[in-house]
Amino acid sequence: MVLRRRVFGGSGAVCQHETMLFTVQVEVTLRPGIADPQGATIERSLPHLGFDGVSHVQVGKSIRFTLDAADEAAARAEVEDMSRRFLTNPVIEDAAISVAPAGT
């Protein structure tokens, strides 16, 4: 997908292009049924520190970036594509995607 990109001038001024900047967060977690030994280890450790009642600990990763796109739907479509093809391995991982206009 080719998008017209925002072009920054030397003064920091933004040239007039019809795109917006979005902040994106992709939270990658292991799919249900996939072993999460890091989560299990944390869960076993917490009671030793006096934190009782903790369960369902999951360890994942958070990938954050900004993205220039025509609109929010286009931004989301692009992030979903990159998540499926690169940011996650769909065999073992799920992605929770959030997209919001930058600066809000």
Partner 1 sequence: MSSRVGVILFPGSNCEQDAIEAVRMLGGEAELLWHGDETVAGVDAVIVPGGFAHGDYLRPGAIARFSPVMAAVQRFADEGGPVVGICNGFQVLTEAGLLPGALQKNRGLKFLCATTTLRVETTSSVLTSGLAVGDHLRIPINHFEGNYTCDPETLSVLKADDRVVFRYVDNPNGSIDDIAGICSSGRNVVGLMPHPERAISPLLGSDDGVGVLQSLLRAATAA
Binding site for partner 1 (CB under 8 A): 30, 34-35, 37-38, 40-41, 86-87, 89, 91-92
Q: Are 36 and 59 in contact (CB under 8 A)?
A: yes
What is the closest distance, in whole angstroms, from the C-beta atom of residue 85 to partner 1 in the complex? 10
Q: Are 17 and 5 in contact (CB under 8 A)?
A: yes
What is the closest distance, in whole angstroms, from the C-beta atom of residue 87 to partner 1 in the complex? 7
Give the integer Cα–Cα distance in Å for 89 and 83: 8
Nearer Cβ to partner 1 (4/61):
61
Nearer Cβ to partner 1 (41/66):
41
Nearer Cβ to partner 1 (8/65):
65
The total of other beta-carbon atoms located within 10 Å of residue 3's CB is 15
Element (H, E) at 26: strand 20-30
